[in-house]
Chains A and B, each alone.
Chain A
């Protein structure tokens, strides 16, 4: 078995994987447990979708933890809470555009791993550079010439990108190769049983990722009828022919943000990242309690709700209503809008 890095930029191998996929409209529904067991193999490279804690497939990440997958190679653009995997033996290396929690700083397990040498950083990228590399894979380009990363140490330390001369102008350009991750897991609002996935909010790089990745698992808040998708295909960012499995996982992005549905659980994320994951021991305790100690995502949410002494999901839905109001007024059957008598400022103070 080749190392994940050897497969990452192999056009022929990626094409071969896709030629084997069925184009038929076939029912791909399965449980998240089965999908992860079948389509995430030890040693696979796995790419983040959404934007870290926005529309990230968190339920799937925890499930990968529960199934104790090994030696995964993470592609973090950007990386969120699953960057802690290596501390539980699940991840051996990564390709990094960004790992952190923005203004709340660094994710300690990731930092510990890299500083101790137990988590290898195979390459550093800029967000734009890695996004173009995915775009190249989607658009059928061998590589893209861009003006990001020029003149910096990213050029010096990333073995996959190249400095070249633009044959048209003679200017220096940075060449970014098309990248083909082994697995992508994408969380969407609605999907039909064939895998067509619809979202609200930014697609970030997700359409490119679906086409680039060898294997695609779609998790969704709700399975909808395919007629629903066919009647309104405009927000569909996942094409069904790229998809291997469709799993209905309500609140699958929790504790992250699902645009139009629920806001991210800032309090939980902040406590986990800054306090509970402070040391390797405390991270292990957290992991054993919340991941290994629960059967699935819902049991985990239940446990968190008990600890918090509140219905976290209802709370986050309310916050999201305040954030969105008019922005996603037509969102499926959730019907954002309705009561508008919340005192915005009051709640906002408690919320963010």
Chain B
């Protein structure tokens, strides 16, 4: 890893997001990768910090050797040289069995308990916006051990309550996951373009851990639709390194498909 930080080189918010996400993956972990930004973060992690990580995709592919950013969580470029290509029920089943350490997700809304909405904005019966629906997100968040959420930080995307809970976080607070029968550990990190959040152990509420360069906790609070808890020792998120940006731009996303 090249520790040189770059203040003089420009980077976009999404690039920072991808770099922060990549640093959260430990080598040797298995990561169930959702579509969108998670694909970028996981690929960058694989190339930079976690060469022995094992990616799992819901179409059934496990442990591919990644090349450049694929368009989809399925498709031939996603499972390039994967030694194991099974079925959808297999990979979700393996996650329930305990083979998935990290789940990597996006979504339209996330609330203070880390519940995610990917179904509708507005009323379910008469939606203002109909979104994609769960896909594998619900299963990933229910069954993987730790969940990382990535998304842009806006008040309507961080509401006090989601319009529809597609994907479980801590539901309505401490003990709720256990009472509900959910096996996985629940949300662990939320990476937005403004900062990195975790969850308070006692209350299960979202808690600010680090602010991205140039951003203050006050700004993040303004962009959050609920009262954000703030850790006692909020730090500044390290900027992307020269090496991170090089790999991201040249190897992961050379045609700037996503990180622009």
Contacts and interface: CB of A to CB of B under 8 A. Distances in A.
A227 interface: no
A263 B180 contact: no
A103 B35 contact: yes
B127 interface: yes
A152 B168 contact: yes
B80 A324 contact: yes
A153 B255 CA distance: 38
B79 A128 contact: no
Interface in B129-143: 129-139, 142-143
A148, A171, A264 interface centre (most CB from chain B within 10 Å):
A148
B203 interface: no
Contacts of B181: 147, 150-151, 166, 171-173
B72 A202 contact: no
Nearest to B251: A345
B68 interface: yes
B76 A257 contact: yes
A148 B133 contact: no
A196 interface: no
Interface stretch (B5-13, B82-90, B232-240): B82-90
Most buried by A among B76, B131, B176, B182: B76
A202 B130 contact: no
A205 B59 CA distance: 9
A255 interface: no
A207 B130 CA distance: 30
Interface stretch (B16-24, B159-167, B213-221, B223-231): B159-167
A350 B254 CA distance: 10
A78 B135 contact: yes
B258 A103 contact: yes
A115 interface: yes
B254 A148 contact: no
Nearest to B182: A150
Given A103-B71, A350-B255, A320 B76 contact: yes
Chain B interface size range:
35 or more
A343 interface: no
B89 A124 contact: no
Interface stretch (A13-21, A32-40, A92-100, A216-224): A92-100
Nearest to B69: A352
B76 A324 contact: yes
Interface string A119-151: 001001111110110010000000000111111
Nearest to A112: B130
Interface in B71-120: 71-77, 79-82, 85-89, 92, 96, 115, 119
B129 to A, nearest CB: 7
A102 B73 contact: yes
Interface in A73-106: 76, 78, 96-100, 102-104, 106
Contacts of A349: 254-255
Count chain A CB atoms within 10 A of each CB in B82, B133, B165, B183 and give the residue with the most: B133
B254 A264 contact: no
B142 A150 contact: yes
B155 interface: no
B164 to A, nearest CB: 5
A260 B258 CA distance: 25
Contacts of A264: 71, 75
Contacts of B82: 327
Given A132-B92, A150-B182, A352-B69, 16 more contacts: A98-B136, A99-B132, A103-B71, A106-B132, A111-B129, A135-B89, A146-B96, A151-B168, A171-B181, A204-B74, A208-B87, A257-B74, A327-B81, A348-B254, A352-B71, A352-B255
Interface of A: 51-54, 76, 78, 96-100, 102-104, 106, 110-111, 114-115, 117, 121, 124-129, 131-132, 135, 146-154, 157, 166, 171-173, 201-205, 207-208, 257, 259-260, 263-264, 266, 320, 323-324, 326-327, 344-345, 348-350, 352
